[in-house]
Structure 1
Amino acid sequence: MAKSKEIRVTINLECVNCAENSEKRCRGISRYTTQKNRRNTSMRLELKKFCRYCGGHTLHKEIKK
């Protein structure tokens, strides 16, 4: 019996500014966990989320687990 692929998958989003920026409020990298529909969104997801380390809304990109 073949293994079926799940349509909704859990992904991790990571702040792009945290890795590049050395002058931020605190040390760390902001990460969020969310789900996406694999059929509707086949490309990597990019969302603007709040980063507590940068102190504002920044771009968060999907990363590999």
Structure 2
Amino acid sequence: MSKNKGARITITLECPCRNLINIHKRKKGIFRYTSTKNRKNTPNRMELMKFCPMCNEHKKFKEIK
């Protein structure tokens, strides 16, 4: 029998500029990253600095459901 994978879960990170359509310098749409986190160590929502190709700059990507 296989064991449970534990407290590690996959999360989706999304740029906060998704609501502002006129701010996009390159393309239209929503850009998202996927990552994993340990649910026991970080129970709150994560925020990571990532590059947004829509805005062409580094921004804080926030965890979504």
Give the TM bin, normalised by the shorter chain.
Answer: 0.7 to 0.9
Structure 1 residue matching 2:45: 3-state secondary structure:
coil
Following TM superposition, by how much is the alpha carbon of 1:13 offset from its aligned partner in structure 2, in angstroms?
A: 0.2
Give unmatched runs, 5+ long, in structure 1. none
How far apart are the structure 2 equivalents of 1:59 and 1:21? 18
TM-score (norm 1): 0.82
Corresponding letter in the other structure for 2:41: N
1:26-37 mapped onto 2 (5 Å cutoff): 26-37=27-38
Structure 2 residue matching 1:22: 3-state secondary structure:
coil
Q: Give the CA RMSD over aligned residues.
A: 1.6
TM-score (norm 2): 0.82
Counterpart in the other structure of 2:60: 59
Counterpart in the other structure of 1:13: 13
User: Is 2:14–2:62's contact at 8 Å kept on the other side of the alignment?
Assistant: yes
Q: Which runs of 4+ in 1 moved over 2 A?
A: none
Q: Quick check: 16-25 or 51-60, which moved more?
A: 16-25
Give unmatched runs, 5+ long, in structure 2. none
Corresponding letter in the other structure for 1:51: C
Q: Kindly, what percent of the aligned residue pairs are identical? A: 48
